[in-house]
Structure 1
Amino acid sequence: MSLSEQQKLNQQRFGKVAVLMGGDSAEREVSLASGHCVLSALIEQGVDAHPFDPSERAIHELLNEKFNRAFIILHGRGGEDGVIQGTLQQLKIPYTGSGVMGSALAMDKVLSKLVWSARHIPTAEYRVLDKQSFNASECEHILNDLGGSVMVKPSHEGSSIGMARASCADELASAVQQAFDYDETVLVETYIDGPEYTVAILNGQALPAIRMTSPNGFYDYDAKYKTDTTEYFCPSGLSLAQEQELARISLTAFEALSGRGWGRVDAMKHANGTFYLLESNTVPGMTKKSLVPMAAKQAGMSFGELVIKILEQSLDHADTRLG
């Protein structure tokens, strides 16, 4: 089939597509960057795609303008937590990715931990702190319980926003207070000293793992989006057996949180060889330098092919998207 024939077929298959991007979350700028890359790729593939920013337009305009489906590329709250998914279901507009429950579970780091622990999926030891009841005098005890070095994370943020590492009581108290600027609930978990990996999930399959290294100490917001010093390795350098084990655990973890369609699971590898899962992302970054496109390229898939495969999910799940 020629390119023009494929483009015509895509236009017929998908109809008018809204690329939902931007939003009001702390990840707005990242979402806009991802959204414009997705939009350009869809148009190149012949899809009748248009940008739609829910922070600037009323969502019911999707109906008024007769959109047939939505490609969700909203990162963070309001877009990755089940809110927009539930709204689209009420409007009966098919969309990409996980449903209401899968989105909400993955967005909440504490609930993710509870589900994974119940399923015996390896994840670091942790404590949950509440803004209303937190007492800085607890920090020394928390550190001792969690091995002396910890990561502090707002429970409902992505892109490593509000995260910090702490190795003494004063550092922990300061990191927790900073995290409370973003969330009422904060997760403190044992720091895993080892290489970090991510596994992209696409239609029930794990793509090749990526290993990330950063001089920042961990893969934080600056390492992801602002510096040129972060290194990515794909192939990851794992043995075949380790690659298969990480893929298996990541798929199990994604599905345990009711993840559907596409996403990404992040993990650390302990010195003893055990993989500990960090979090699941149901709407990962989608710039051409992002991790999911990088893994797809290693699997022999172009960026254009990737966005079409994601958009195809809206054809298969038009009616039942609670999971």
Structure 2
Amino acid sequence: MADFDFLSGDVLRIVVLAGGDSAEREISLQSGATATEALKSRGHEVVQVDPASEDLATRDWSDCDVAFIALHGTYGEDGGVQRLLEELEVPYTGSDSSASRLAFSKSAAKERFLLSGVDTPAYVLIHETDDATSIHQKANSIGYPLVVKPDAQGSSLGVTIVRSPEDLPQALARCFHYDCFGLMEQAIEGTEWTMGIANGEPLPLIQIESEREFYDYDAKYVDDETRFLFEFDLESPTIGQIEQLALASFDSLGVSGIARADIRLDRFGKPWILEVNTIPGFTSHSLIPMAAEQQGIELGEFFERTVRAALQNSFLRRQN
């Protein structure tokens, strides 16, 4: 890597990692294309690389100053690609391998939330080999309605709100299609919120409104009727509580770079953290680009700040 003034206008050689072979491949390709074009608009030399078609372990990284990770799902968000880049000593954006692995497992992240005093809905861990009696006993311990979701998956894939025991088998089948482990989690009836962070700085809070039962895959990436609000009919203390919960969730997992917290506000005005995404989407329907725009930051500048911060952090780690 060249010796850069990290905050200057030096042209960077950036490899955008996107695609892969996870269930979120198509969304990752869209995120990668967005990042690639935005960084090119800032004058950088950018190439997009798909790990599904190129072996990153044997790639010649001498043409790369920093990798921008836009890989969603397994390998991208579970610490796999981060661990490889750490071994290759290639600077990269986002959280390190340990924080990525922790955040990607919903059960592990929730245990960290609980240890850190971060309010998160009650849950039980389930496995595809659990018998029906055990599953129903665990479901009853949570109570209905409940949410069934894969332990390690993104974009709300395999997630179902279950309102009665009769609907549980179908929800379990959807969940175990994506992962052998799953969660049954207390459903928080209320409103949907999200807040991002970028290089240690909070992004504007967003309220999400959808005609769907929850902010599912189609509401995220397909439905143009989903509404994203930056002005709220809430008292300031409640808004502050949501923001503080998001920040506490980031701190508890040790995430860095760009990340996003998903939150539910119950009917009593109490916020609950659902999960933290260490590589949120960067598509035209994605929340992080909306938040950056709301803050008045052009997307190319936003991503450029991220890659320069990644370079600076890498440099500082090598000095210690």
Q: Residue 173 of structure 1 is aligned with which of 158, 169, 172?
A: 169
- d(CA) in 2 for partners of 1:32, 1:224: 15
Superposition CA RMSD, Å: 1.9
2: distance between equivalents of 1:175 and 1:227? 22
Question: Corresponding residue for 2:126?
Answer: 129
Structure 1 range deviating more: 10-19 or 226-235: 10-19
Distance 2:147 2:287 in 1: 22
CA distance in 1, matches of 2:93, 2:65: 12
Structure 1 unmatched ranges of 5 or more: 1-8
* Counterpart-to-counterpart distance in 1, 2:163 and 2:285: 32
SS at match of 1:223: helix
Equivalent of 2:198 in 197, 202, 217: 202
- Say whether the 8 Å CA contact 1:195–1:268 is kept in structure 2: yes
TM-score relative to the length of structure 2: 0.92
Q: Does 1:284 align with 2:273?
A: no
- Distance in 1 of aligned mates of 2:300 and 2:63: 24
In the alignment, what sits opposite 1:263?
259
The sequence identity of aligned pairs, in percent, is 35
Q: Which runs of 5+ in 2 are unaligned?
A: 1-5
Asked if 1 retains the 8 angstrom alpha-carbon contact of 2:103 and 2:277, the reply is yes
Letter of the structure 1 residue corresponding to residue 110 of structure 2: K
Using a 3 Å threshold, how does the CA distance of structure 1 residues 294 and 237 change in structure 2: closer, same or farther? farther
Equivalent position amino acid for 1:299 in 2: Q
Return the offset for 1:164.
0.6
Q: Residue 139 of structure 1: CA displacement?
A: 4.3
User: 2:54 aligned to 57, 63, 69, which one?
Assistant: 57
Code of the residue aligned with 2:220 in structure 1: it is K
Tell me if the contact between 1:204 and 1:251 (Cα under 8 Å) persists in the aligned partners. Answer: no
User: Does the residue aligned with 1:195 lie in a helix, a strand or coil?
Assistant: strand
Are 1:17 and 2:33 an aligned pair? Answer: no
Residue 104 (1) aligns with residue 101 (2): yes
CA distance in structure 2 between the partners assigned to 1:191 and 1:39 by the alignment? 38
Please, which moves more after superposition, 229-238 or 66-75?
229-238
Question: Is it true that 1:82 corresponds to 2:82 in the alignment?
Answer: no
SS of 1:235's partner is: coil
> Cα deviations across residues 148-180 of structure 1 (Å, max 9, x unaligned)?
101111000000001111111121122112211
2:3 maps to: none
**Deviation, structure 1 residue 12:** 6.2
SS at match of 1:219: coil
- The amino acid of 2:191's aligned partner reads P
**TM-score when scaled to structure 1?**
0.92
SS at match of 1:54: coil
For residues 192 and 95 of structure 2, the distance between their equivalents in structure 1, rounded to whole angstroms, comes to 24
The answer to whether the aligner puts 1:119 opposite 2:123 as a matched pair is: no
